[in-house]
Amino acid sequence: IEVMPSSSLGAIADRIEEKGFFLVARHQFGCRVLERLIEHCTEKEMGRLNDSFVERAEPLSRHQYGNFVVQHLLEHGARHRGAQVLRRLLPTIAQLAMHRTASHVVQAALTYASDEGQRAIATGLLAAAAPHSLLEVAASRYGSFVVEDLQGLRCPGAPPLLDAIRLRLAYAGPEQLSSASFQRVAQRFGLALAPPSAL
């Protein structure tokens, strides 16, 4: 795909559409073909496939291979595609942050999102309720890396968001404080919170 003339790539995208994009996106090697197409095809050539990826972004994010397609769309797709993917993910952003594979998609969204998108992710995580609250995300194995990445927010208005996150982390209960993942996050945010056994 990387060495083929771009005029030939549209035919590959059409064939994938015939076979079923969802099946191909969730295949160990099919996802790699889709990644290369996202990198090398124009929006015009990939438009219908990209529409499909956006439509199924949430279930693809949870899949061991499909998540790579969503990450690639966030990184290499047109700016409006990343915004469309993020709109699909925001209603379940905290649950996705705690998921083994979807957490990588959330991290990619934080990296490649617009300023508005970054604020939306941070706000969504702050607003999430139990059992997916910010504290629970920070104490989870995979979510902790997402919360750590929030420290790198570069959008306008980031300092107040980071202060709100830091304040929320400071109110951790014994369950969160006993988590090594949470302790790592707290330390990254400059908080020295002792685990319950040390109290």
Burial of 44 (0-12, 13-18, 19+ CB in 10 A): exposed
Spatial distance between the Cα atoms of 192 and 195, rounded to a whole number of angstroms: 10
Please state, in angstroms and rounded to a whole number, the distance separating the CA atoms of residues 149 and 143: 10
Q: Is 131 exposed, middle or buried (0-12, 13-18, 19+ CB in 10 A)?
A: exposed
For residues 70 and 55, give the distance between their C-alpha atoms in angstroms, rounded to a whole number.
Answer: 11
Mind listing the pLDDT tens digit for each residue in 89-135?
999 999 999 999 999 999 999 999 999 999 999 999 999 999 999 99
What is the band of 6 on the pLDDT scale with cuts at 50, 70, 90? Answer: low
pTM of the model: 0.91
* Residues 56-76: tens digit of each pLDDT: 999 999 999 999 999 999 999
